[in-house]
Amino acid sequence: MSKGEDIIREGDRPTESTVLLEGFAARYSLLRNGKRQITGLHVPGDFVDLHSFLVKKMDHAVLAITPCSVGFVPHETLREISENHPHLTRLLGVNIAVDAAIHRQWIVAMGRRSALEHAAHLLCEMFLRLRAVGLTEDDSFKLPLTQAELGDALGLSTVHVNRVVQDLRKERLITWRGETLVIDDWERLQELAEFDPTFLSFEVEPR
């Protein structure tokens, strides 16, 4: 998929669910006035629309933030798994549950955190999710988001995003050059964000 291309469009009725293999993608909704709200970010290894197996009609779109490689799992295969492989079905359910947990954290951040805290929380989330799939190097990772795209995720203007990023730099919490973001003080960044990684469910537990 090319950068800027819709992987899934609002109103689609997918017959397969899409796995992101390479690149970054974003869920988004458009308002009538053309403004965009990004409601989720996807990293390699994510199902971007596993829920489409159950809800059928898409109420949002998924955009390729960078060039992306994707794989497809037919809904007929998911149906066979759900009917015959209970353990795999539980693991798919965990995927949907974690997805919902991330959304809850985004709602809390959007409604109750300051812009600075919100941005810090998102950076903590992305760092851990990328580390889980081997896409970090020490305390650095690639985050190929423009300030406009980050603004669409945080619900902020580009000008406000610029101020927030500058504040994080001034506090010596991050260094961000081009697409490479370095977390300079992980403990203080977590403290600022009140970040608790429990919602990501990284612990290996019986399912």
Between CA 161 and CA 120 the distance in angstroms is: 12
Determine what percent of the chain is predicted with pLDDT higher than 70. 98
CB-facing half-sphere around the CA of 166: CA atoms within 13 A: 6
- Residue 207: the pLDDT is 61
What's the pLDDT at 56? 84
- The H or E element that residue 149 is part of is helix 147-154
pLDDT at position 203: 78
Q: How many residues does the chain have?
A: 207
CA distance linking residue 49 with residue 58, whole number of Å: 9
- Per-chain mean pLDDT for the chain: 95
The pLDDT score that the predictor gives to residue 52 is: 93
Instruction: List pLDDT tens digits, range 108-134.
Output: 999 999 999 999 999 999 999 999 999
CA 194 to chain CA centroid, nearest Å? 19
What percent of the chain lies above the pLDDT cut of 90? 96
Q: What is the pLDDT of residues 85-101, one digit of tens each?
A: 999 999 999 999 999 99
Q: Are strands 69-74 and 16-22 parallel, antiparallel or unpaired?
A: antiparallel
Prediction pTM value:
0.94
For residue 150, give the nearest of 139, 142, 140, 160 by alpha carbon.
160
Work out the average pLDDT over 147-158. 96
Q: Taking a C-beta distance cutoff of 8 angstroms, is the pair 118, 194 a contact?
A: no
